[in-house]
Homo-oligomer: A and B are copies of this chain.
Amino acid sequence: MTNTGRPPSRPVQLDEVSKAIIEQLQADGRRSYADIGKAVGLSEAAVRQRVQKLTESGVMQIVAVTDPMQLGFTRQAMIGVRASGDTREVAARLAEIPEIDYVVLTAGSFDVLAEVVCEDDAQLMALLNERVRSIPGVQSTESFVYLKLQKQFYNWGTVRNREP
């Protein structure tokens, strides 16, 4: 169930049919295997076997996603963090914050990038000052407040953590 995480010994090669199946499920994760079969030219059983293989091998996952905007989280931002010491610890601390839904360690002029989802500016400001900048090792932060999301396509990486 849980994916091992890291590095693919050898990348999984998908044929056109599997890609088509994934596309169907990207449009609607609950589409029936029978419908998908009709769309890609395969029997229901064959589709189901492929989907099972894709999910069990950890290549694909079918999940619910929610719209933060409609739930009242109207303020989003990316926070760039510069840190001293072990940046993994800083990242782990950031990941503990429920309002932060995305944390990645990076090479570049930031050590960590974190995306926050807040209800308003006040919550964002409080979060930044009270819970982000107070983490030991955090030297400075830079915030990029979202104005408009232009494109979003779902991938997932090596870790999939629920909020703590």
On A, residues with C-beta under 8 Å from B are 3, 6-8, 11-12, 14, 22, 25-30, 57-74, 76-78, 80, 88, 91-92, 94-95, 100-110, 112-113, 117, 142-163
The minimal Cβ–Cβ distance linking A85 to chain B, given in whole angstroms, is 15
A22 cross-chain contacts in B, Cβ below 8 A: 64, 66
Least CB separation from A154: chain B residue = B65
* Cα-based distance from A110 to B78 in the complex (angstroms): 11
When the two chains form their complex, are residues A150 and B67 in contact, meaning their CB atoms are under 8 A apart?
Answer: no
When the two chains form their complex, are residues A105 and B67 in contact, meaning their CB atoms are under 8 A apart?
Answer: no
* Cα-based distance from A3 to B67 in the complex (angstroms): 9
Choose among B57, B65, B112 the residue that contacts A155 (Cβ–Cβ < 8 A). Answer: B65
When the two chains form their complex, are residues B102 and A151 in contact, meaning their CB atoms are under 8 A apart?
Answer: yes
When the two chains form their complex, are residues A156 and B8 in contact, meaning their CB atoms are under 8 A apart?
Answer: no
Binding site secondary structure of chain A: mixed
A14 cross-chain contacts in B, Cβ below 8 A: 71
Q: Could you give 21 example pairs across A and B, Cβ below 8 Å?
A: A8-B72, A14-B71, A28-B62, A29-B62, A59-B71, A60-B64, A67-B155, A67-B157, A78-B78, A78-B113, A94-B151, A103-B149, A103-B150, A104-B148, A106-B144, A108-B142, A109-B142, A109-B144, A153-B161, A153-B162, A154-B156
The minimal Cβ–Cβ distance linking A70 to chain B, given in whole angstroms, is 5
Choose among B67, B69, B150 the residue that contacts A92 (Cβ–Cβ < 8 A). Answer: B150
Least CB separation from A6: chain B residue = B69
* Cα-based distance from A160 to B155 in the complex (angstroms): 13
Choose among B59, B70, B108 the residue that contacts A12 (Cβ–Cβ < 8 A). Answer: B70
